[in-house]
Amino acid sequence: MFKNILINALVNLGDVVLTTSALALIKKNFPETKITMLVKPVVKDAVIDNPVVDDVIVLDYKAKENSFNKMRRLVKNIRQRNFDLAISFDRKLRPALITFFAGIPRRVCPSKVFDDNKSRVTMLYTDVIEISHDLNKTLQAETYQEIVRKFFNIEGHAEPVFPKKSSLVADKLLSRLPDAKFKIALCVKGTFPLKTWSKEYFAEVVKKLRQTYDAAFFIVGAPNDKAYADEVIAEMGGDVENFCGETSLTDLAELFRRVNLFITVDTGATHIAATTGVKMVTIYGCTSPDRWHPINKNAIALTSREPCCPCTKKICDNPACLQNVKPAQVLNAIRDLKN
């Protein structure tokens, strides 16, 4: 059996969180196997001290700044670790080359993972796992688990896993909120416009919740979301804290463990929150909730299911997918969760 596995997960935050479900499945069946993850710097907090990850290699690579020698040192480092298996959760060229030149004897990738297009990169792998299901109608975590189920010939399902750390930062941030019976977190900005619900809709939801509940609100996000969050807060009439850029990924998880509700668009934070079990409402634009639904029994996903969705556009002149998810639907979902 394989004892020392390298997992290539040079993907975005939400995907990294979802890939941990596949690692949990491996650990469940082969608890003595050592798992090392290769990740981008921005997501390392999601896997360092994660219960299903034994070690982490951070690939700090920027094409205009990094040299061939730096990549050669990384390959040497990986070669010296004597991995007997590499599993890639994407079909990018860089991790394929790294594991190929590192001489890892078994190298596994999926036939498809983000789209149905064929890729010549698969030629660099010893094993290509056939993924036959419809990607847009299958939870992405299940696609990652299908890779390991088929390769190891195992069965079962697992949920994503996220590390737990000190609560000091979360407690300090929450102390800035006014006294209220309920604490409600918001994530108002997606990674591109077709994931971002309108400021006016978010403002209407918050104003209506203020009329019904004794609640304090705050917004979370990346550092470059802070200015946009301030604009949303102004639309809401103020009295909402802006925590954008003030949390690590693990601090963010601790915040979610301490709040009563999370209202969000489709982002990586959505999948972090799902691992905590917090009650949450997620608003989907051009992406499919069938594929990206939070794995959380306390989550409600809202979408207008436009005939043009899911799509790969970043900008749309008439984004009906977002316009047709109304504030009333979010408020109704919140009432359903409360009951």
pLDDT band at 338 (very low <50, low <70, confident <90, very high): confident
Residues 72 and 192 in one domain: no
Kindly state whether residue 284 falls inside one of the protein's structural domains: yes
Predicted pLDDT of residue 145: 98
CATH number of the CATH domain containing 303: 3.40.50.2000
Mean predicted lDDT score pLDDT of the chain: 94
Write out pLDDT tens, residues 95-122. Answer: 999 999 999 999 999 999 999 988 999 9
Residues 125 and 182 in one domain: no
Residues 136 and 237 in one domain: no
DSSP assignment letter at 168: H
Which uninterrupted H or E stretch holds 333?
A: helix 327-338
Our CA dihedral for 148, 152, 155, 159, rounded to 10 degrees, sits at -30
For the chain, what is the domain count?
2
Residues 222 and 331 in one domain: yes
Does 255 score more than 90 pLDDT? yes
Predicted pLDDT of residue 103: 96
Predicted pLDDT of residue 273: 98
Domain containing 173: what range? 168-338
DSSP assignment letter at 76: H
Which uninterrupted H or E stretch holds 80?
A: helix 68-80
Does 186 score more than 70 pLDDT? yes
Q: What pTM does this model have?
A: 0.94
Does 166 score more than 90 pLDDT? no
Residues 67 and 204 in one domain: no
Residues 125 and 248 in one domain: no
Q: 209 is written with which tokens? A: 């919740």
Predicted pLDDT of residue 49: 95
Residues 181 and 323 in one domain: yes
Predicted pLDDT of residue 63: 58
Predicted pLDDT of residue 303: 96
Our CA dihedral for 49, 54, 56, 57, rounded to 10 degrees, sits at 170
Kindly state whether residue 159 falls inside one of the protein's structural domains: no
Predicted pLDDT of residue 317: 83
Q: Among 152, 176, 193, where does a domain finish?
A: 152
The mean pLDDT of 245-273, rounded to a whole number, is 97
The mean pLDDT of 129-133, rounded to a whole number, is 96
Write out pLDDT tens, residues 17-55. Answer: 999 999 999 999 999 999 999 999 999 999 999 999 999
Residues 188 and 295 in one domain: yes
Residues 24 and 138 in one domain: yes
* Total count of residues recorded for the chain: 339
Kindly state whether residue 135 falls inside one of the protein's structural domains: yes
Burial of 282 (0-12, 13-18, 19+ CB in 10 A): buried
User: Which residue from 43, 39, 56 is spatially nearest to 271, judged by alpha carbons?
Assistant: 43
The residue to which tokens 């394929």 are assigned: 96
Residues 148 and 174 in one domain: no
Question: What is the layout of strands, in order, in the sheet containing 85-88?
Answer: 55-58, 34-39, 4-8, 85-88, 107-110, 127-129
Residues 231 and 257 in one domain: yes
Question: What is the layout of strands, in order, in the sheet containing 280-283?
Answer: 241-242, 215-219, 182-187, 261-265, 280-283, 299-302
DSSP letters spanning 174-230: HTTSPP-SEEEEEE---SSGGG---HHHHHHHHHHHHHHS-EEEEE---GGGHHHHH
Q: Among 119, 152, 185, where does a domain finish?
A: 152
Predicted pLDDT of residue 65: 59
Residues 259 and 116 in one domain: no
